[in-house]
Chains A and B, each alone.
Chain A
Amino acid sequence: MSKNTRRIVFVLFILVLTLSVAAVQAQDRVQVTILGTIKPEIADPFNEAVATYNAAQDQYEVVVIPRDGDPVQMMTSLSASGNMPTITNMGQEFSLFRDTLCDVTDTTFSQHAFPGTQADVTIDGRVYGMPITIEAFGLLYNQAVLDEAVGGTFDPATITTRSELAELLAAVDALESTEAAIHVSGLDWSLGAHFTNVMFTDQSADAAERVAFIDALKAGEAALVENEVYAGWLDTLDLLLQYNQNAGSPLAPTYDDGVLALGLGEVGFWFMGNWALPNLFEMNPDVAYGILPVPISDDPATYGNTAISIGVPSNLVIDCAQSTPEEQAGAIDFLNWFVTDPVGQDYWVNRFNFLPVYDTFEIQPQDAASQQILQYAADGLSLQWMNNLYPAGGWQAMGASMQKYVTGQIDRAGLAGELEAYWQTVE
């Protein structure tokens, strides 16, 4: 081939490539982008749901942008570079992005949401997000192990005080089939976001007083060592640590170790939440689980002793600053599909293991623990997720202090000092 022929071939080759890329983009379907698969744990079923939705209609095409690394890092860089995805799943980041988000008050999914579930994403009476599920944390238990420990069918209503819990822990510990009574995860998010929540949310039955307690901490006016709830909360933590499977090295176990320990019945309890259920069922679908409150005193009437922490972990939000109106409409259509279409509902409940907070759902979760959580919610026995009010970096800071306490580096006074010092740095 002469030089010129080669040039022509090269130019033609580039032309063909460009045209084919243009042809792919020139489809008449509107592309709706979503960052990640809501949660990494449900990546496979979520991708399946997206494919099903794309095949079910010919107006929109939902595309998942792979999420690698830290979500905030990705959101900030995508936003600052003008590439914000149409749909994003946001937790605490909501406050950072709220001026860029679409008002979804009049959408179908928002109209059918249970009252109260949209509180975190409501500003001046307008709704800016779609709650994905409610999650609950507390003492997850393995029904079979506890049945064996009590010699019959274990009834969660029998545990309302710390001493009743202590007796049960001792009974589980005494079983030959178990290694220990409880698995305590030393993970900073479990201790820093969830276990600390028990202390903050049990402060008062009145929401305003709970917030006032945090404000007092910020102002340096609350002394934790003199706080009754703080003392009771740590008494319970000490009790759990006494029966901890990994007492020798409390920070060593990973999340997966907890799944294995509870799923295999090595322990009877695990301080965790219902997001672990899919992992547990993946290991053995035939084991039944339940969830118990974390009692902080010996009086059943103490606020929090009979209730579990329930909240909305994150919300799906739609970007209004960088997306076109067509993309926004597509995003709403996609989210409505989960709430209104039986196929979408099936994915939402049975494949993503979300607890539906919409009155349109015909499909309800079938496992005992999920039903138990919905029952706690229906009975009003739910404690507020004060951890949603922690500032950015809050649970990491408190998690580090909790890890020090759990490993015996600091005592009660030391922990109180560190927690107080942290809150005083918050504006």
Chain B
Amino acid sequence: MYIEKTFAQKFRSFLTFAAIPLFAFSVVLVIPFLVGVFLSFTDWNGIQAIDSFDYNVIGLSNFTAALSDPTYINTLVLTFAYVTLVVVITNVIAFLVAVLVTSNLPARNFFRAAFFIPNLIGGVILGFIWQFIFSTFITRLGDLTGIPLFQYSWLVETDKAFIALVIVGVWQLSGYMMLIYIAGLVGIPQEVIEASTIDGATTSQQLLHIKIPLMIQAFTISIFLTLRNSFMVFDVNLSLTRGGPFRSTEMATLHIYNEAFISQHFGTAQAQAIILFVIVAVVATTQVIISKRLEGRAL
């Protein structure tokens, strides 16, 4: 249909297919991002119009302020702990569940749907649902059973509140990752499996030596998505614990938000956001490069 020879024709098909998405992408992502980077070098106070230029360029002092904020460093450490736990647990659970629901389990479609549903609930609502569970349901359970673990709300003790965040993060993400693993599992050619069965491979041998190497791409995608999502956790953090008790469960993004809108240090917050962006970009790129190498070896 489209045979593009002249520049005009190429331009026309570009306009037809790419112009609107490109425009939307630039307006809502690229331009705000660039403006954000620019503002991190200024003393913008948060309410001046961006194009008024009533503010001054102050070089790197926002970045030095950002890095000398001890709570920011603490939230970064906490975020790393959270990311590690969520990435590992989510992928293990998602993979196991995927193996389970692709086997000859009765009602497996029901289970697939059930595991996927948490992903369809928005993070804020999800936070409130789990807030009820951790603070009201658990204490009621504690009253009934007398188990000390359930005596008080989990959201008011530092360690338990952190565990609660991990539980909710894992619960929300694993359904989606399960779908990706299912796609990987059912995409493996049936002949290979049959051949290995004839050669006498056990189920676990099949899983470890045939299935996993052949679906390594699913791992690349899933780990990338869980990394990104757990680094950027905000809505669940905000609605489940609000960073409490005493700001001990404040993740990096929530801290940046508080720094900007509660402490009204817009420059520092902007610089902290840029630093977080660089960290996430480096970690995610490294992960993708390593996984791609593994894929190359597996194939």
> Chain A: residues with CB nearer than 8 A to chain B?
70, 72-73, 75-76, 79-80, 82, 96-97, 100, 186, 188, 248-252, 254, 392-393, 396, 399-401, 403-404, 407, 409
A392:B264 contact, CB within 8 angstroms: yes
B152:A72 contact, CB within 8 angstroms: no
Stretch at the interface among B4-12, B47-55, B283-291: B47-55
Stretch at the interface among B19-27, B172-180, B206-214, B255-263: B255-263
Residues in B with CB closer than 8 Å to A96 are 45-47, 264
B156:A393 contact, CB within 8 angstroms: no
B77-92: CB near A (< 8 Å → 1, else 0) gives 0000000000000000
Query: From B124, which residue of chain A is reached at the shortest CB distance?
Result: A69
B261:A76 contact, CB within 8 angstroms: yes
B152:A248 contact, CB within 8 angstroms: yes
- Which among A75, A97, A248, A251 is the interface contact of B244 at CB below 8 angstroms? A251
- Which among B49, B258, B263 is the interface contact of A82 at CB below 8 angstroms? B49
Give the Cβ gap from A97 to chain B, nearest Cβ, in Å. Answer: 7
B133-176: CB near A (< 8 Å → 1, else 0) gives 00100010000000000011101110000000000000000000
Question: Which 3 residue pairs are nearest across A and B when measured between Cβ atoms?
Answer: A393-B263, A249-B152, A251-B156
Residues in B with CB closer than 8 Å to A79 are 47
B248-284: CB near A (< 8 Å → 1, else 0) gives 0000000000100111101000000000000000000
Q: What are 17 A-B residue pairs whose CB atoms fall within 8 Å in the complex?
A: A76-B261, A188-B244, A249-B157, A250-B156, A251-B245, A252-B139, A252-B153, A254-B135, A392-B262, A393-B258, A396-B263, A399-B246, A400-B244, A400-B246, A403-B244, A403-B245, A407-B156
Residues in B with CB closer than 8 Å to A75 are 47
Query: From A249, which residue of chain B is reached at the shortest CB distance?
Result: B152
The answer to the question of B108 belonging to the interface, with a C-beta cut-off of 8 Å to chain A, is: no
Given the interface contacts A251-B156, A403-B246, does A80 sit within 8 Å of B49 by beta carbon? Answer: yes
The answer to the question of B247 belonging to the interface, with a C-beta cut-off of 8 Å to chain A, is: yes
How far, in whole Å, are A102 and B48 apart by their CA atoms in the complex? Answer: 17
A393:B262 contact, CB within 8 angstroms: yes
- Which among A72, A251, A400 is the interface contact of B264 at CB below 8 angstroms? A72
B263:A76 contact, CB within 8 angstroms: no
Query: From A410, which residue of chain B is reached at the shortest CB distance?
Result: B246
How far, in whole Å, are A250 and B244 apart by their CA atoms in the complex? Answer: 13
Residues in B with CB closer than 8 Å to A80 are 46-50
Residues in A with CB closer than 8 Å to B266 are 76
Residues in A with CB closer than 8 Å to B50 are 80
Which range contains the number of B residues in contact with the other chain? 20 to 34
How far, in whole Å, are A358 and B187 apart by their CA atoms in the complex? Answer: 75
Residues in A with CB closer than 8 Å to B47 are 75-76, 79-80, 96-97, 100
Query: From A78, which residue of chain B is reached at the shortest CB distance?
Result: B47
Give the Cβ gap from B54 to chain A, nearest Cβ, in Å. Answer: 10
Query: From A399, which residue of chain B is reached at the shortest CB distance?
Result: B246
Give the Cβ gap from B166 to chain A, nearest Cβ, in Å. Answer: 20
From residue 49 to 76 of chain B, which have CB atoms closer than 8 A to chain A?
49-50
- Which among B45, B48, B246, B264 is the interface contact of A404 at CB below 8 angstroms? B246
Query: From B135, which residue of chain A is reached at the shortest CB distance?
Result: A252
Residues in B with CB closer than 8 Å to A409 are 246
B46:A76 contact, CB within 8 angstroms: yes
Can you name 7 extra interface pairs (CB under 8 A) apart from A72-B262, A249-B151, A403-B244? A186-B156, A251-B244, A254-B135, A392-B263, A400-B247, A401-B246, A404-B246
Residues in B with CB closer than 8 Å to A73 are 261
How far, in whole Å, are A72 and B260 apart by their CA atoms in the complex? Answer: 9
A252:B152 contact, CB within 8 angstroms: yes
Most chain A Cβ neighbours within 10 Å, of B47, B139, B262: B47
Residues in B with CB closer than 8 Å to A250 are 156
Give the Cβ gap from A45 to chain B, nearest Cβ, in Å. Answer: 25
How far, in whole Å, are A73 and B152 apart by their CA atoms in the complex? Answer: 33
How far, in whole Å, are A335 and B146 apart by their CA atoms in the complex? Answer: 56
Residues in A with CB closer than 8 Å to B135 are 252, 254
Residues in A with CB closer than 8 Å to B263 are 392-393, 396
A407:B153 contact, CB within 8 angstroms: no
Give the Cβ gap from A92 to chain B, nearest Cβ, in Å. Answer: 9
Give the Cβ gap from B236 to chain A, nearest Cβ, in Å. Answer: 15
Give the Cβ gap from B24 to chain A, nearest Cβ, in Å. Answer: 18
